[in-house]
Amino acid sequence: MRRTSHYSRSPPARRKVASGEDAQAGQAFAALPSPGRFGRLAALARRHDRSLLVLGSGLVAALLAVGLNAIVAPPDRKLTQGDIDAAVVHTLKKRPPEASDAAKAYDVIRPSVVLVRRLGEDKKSKVTRRDDSGAEASGDAKKFSLTGVGTGVVFSEDGMIFTNLHVVAGADDIGVVFADGTESEVELLDAQPENDLAVLRAKTLPDDLRPATLRSTRGLKTGDEVMAVGFPFGIGPTATWGVVSGLRREHYSEEGRRNLIDLIQFDAAANPGNSGGPLVTREGDVVGIVTSILNPTDVGFFVGIAFAVPIENAAKAAGVSPF
């Protein structure tokens, strides 16, 4: 009998009728998967093997990378002072340092500080002028020369200025120079000899005049930081920084002619030319008017002790309230 196999596409072959033993073998063969199923299983196995191979390769690469990093990476080291200094320099370059209290106080008071010039009549000379009709007329011309310098501080918008009486005493003419360079003649409004104070008023004012802020000395304490601003020996404006050395001091003025009382003693450097300048707090508020220095020698320069008149006394001389 001729039959077609269901398991192969090979040409049909003549087969003999199976014996009982052959029949059992044929049944066992029939139980095996077909060749098509074998192909699918083999493909699945191959894909599974490739996945395992990729996964294994990745794990090996990761382990190699970790090991290599451990070998190549430098070991941890302790910070040195050089590292800290470099970090500080880098930070400072990125952000400039904040201004000091002294610099802030100076910026506040500087626009209010003036150079006071005492002028003396030098000589008179003849000058010739022509009037409207063309006629000549002669007269005297006054000529002044600088006889002394000091400092003043503007305390009102209409150009009123505090200074020392000894700065302007005996002057034939008085002039001031404002912070922006504006020059002006001034008039003497009032004087308070017992406190060595004088009040001036400028005739010409700068457009951006900034009066100083006055502050009571009631809260002032020994050890508080203060600044003196002025024109020592005509140099300036110059700022010197120190502390309040004492309160309610007494001191004889130049040549012992006046006994000044209730003074602020301070150790910020003051020299001839500082007279009449402001003594200010770290906020730039005026608490006193610099008036004199103590020096046991005849040289007349600063040795560490200076005095200022409290601003309350200066306000009385001007007839104004300082607060």
Catalytic residues: 166, 196, 275
The label of the residue with tokens 């098509």 reads 36
User: How many residues are present in the chain?
Assistant: 323
CA distances from 18 to 21, 34, 131, 266 (A): 8, 21, 163, 134
Strand, coil or helix: 142: strand
* Dist CA 195 CA 48 (whole Å): 107
- Bridging pattern class, strands 113-130 and 238-252: unpaired
* Dist CA 29 CA 93 (whole Å): 89
The residues, any chain, with a CB within 8 Å of residue 8's CB and separated by 6 or more, are 35
* Dist CA 10 CA 256 (whole Å): 143
